A and B are shown apart, each in its own frame.
Chain A
Amino acid sequence: MDVEELKNLKPDLVVDARGQSCPGPMLEAKKALTKVPAGGILEVLSSDKGTRRDLPALCKKMGHEFLGYIEEGGYDRLFVRKKK
């Protein structure tokens, strides 16, 4: 998805893990995914640069779809579609 498509997404849940270092944002994301309905979208806010690569790896392993990320000032907005 390109940035404009990501900006138009309506997440089912937003988890704010800004200020947490690795593996904090990943732990938050994994916990939050249990609360998102199948096919729903999770948005993760993270200031840890490793999340950009860690989250796609976790999604691939768990069967979720990593949709991409948007860079904001000092943090990223990362989007995941939970597997159906």
Chain B
Amino acid sequence: MSEEQEIVAVVLNKGTVDALQNLSSLITGATMMGAKVVIFLQTWGAWAFLKENISKLDQFDENAFWSPEYKEHAASVIKEMKRAGTASWYELFKEAKEEGLLEILVCSTAAEQWGANTTEAFDDLVDDITGVFEWHEIAKKSTYTYYIG
């Protein structure tokens, strides 16, 4: 990471479609404005990025993993997203990743909670497993930090 690179830090402790879809818009805005986004996955964020769970997070699927409090609205939200041509959250993450402006780190404690000792257990978008000390250093350099939980 160069010293001049603007960084946006995100702590994600939520593994639902609604959280990921909204986060993908924020990521796209930040990366298109030239910032690098670094995401730190805590418990439920890490759960979402486990290889076995990514398929449960299709935002256009009413039966995907939505926040329980919003689930009753899933069908109408999906209908509206389709009408509005909303991009898939996963594709937006992937696009930012391909531009080299998105880094995803898993909290080592969260990885342990899910029995994942290496990044192999996670989706390809995940870069590494790290601890809160390195995260502190990254967040310290960021312009701002989001906490999504």
A→B interface (CB under 8 Å): 19-24, 26-27, 30, 48, 54, 57-58, 61
Is there contact, CB below 8 Å, between B85 and A30?
no
- Chain B interface residues (CB < 8 Å from chain A): 25, 28-29, 32-34, 81, 84-87, 92, 95
A23 touches B33 (CB 8 A): no
Extra contacts besides A27-B32, A30-B32 (4): CB < 8 Å: A20-B86, A21-B85, A23-B92, A27-B28
A-B contact count (CB 8 A): 35
- B54 CB to closest chain A CB (Å) equals 21
Given A57-B33, A61-B33, also A21-B86 (CB < 8 A): yes
Set of chain A residues within 8 Å of B95, measured between Cβ atoms: 27
- Name the B residues within 8 Å of A58 (CB-CB): 32-33
Q: B28 near A21 (CB under 8 angstroms)? A: no
Residue of B nearest to A47 (CB): B84
Q: Tell me, rounded to whole Å, the shortest Cβ–Cβ distance linking B94 to chain A.
A: 12
State how many angstroms separate the Cβ of B101 from the closest Cβ of chain A.
12
For B92, what are the chain A residues with a Cβ–Cβ distance below 8 Å?
A: 23
Which residue of A19, A20, A22, A61 is within 8 Å of B25 (Cβ)? A22
Interface core residue of B32, B87, B95 (most chain A CB under 10 Å): B32
Interfacial chain B residues near A27, Cβ < 8 Å: 28, 32, 87, 95
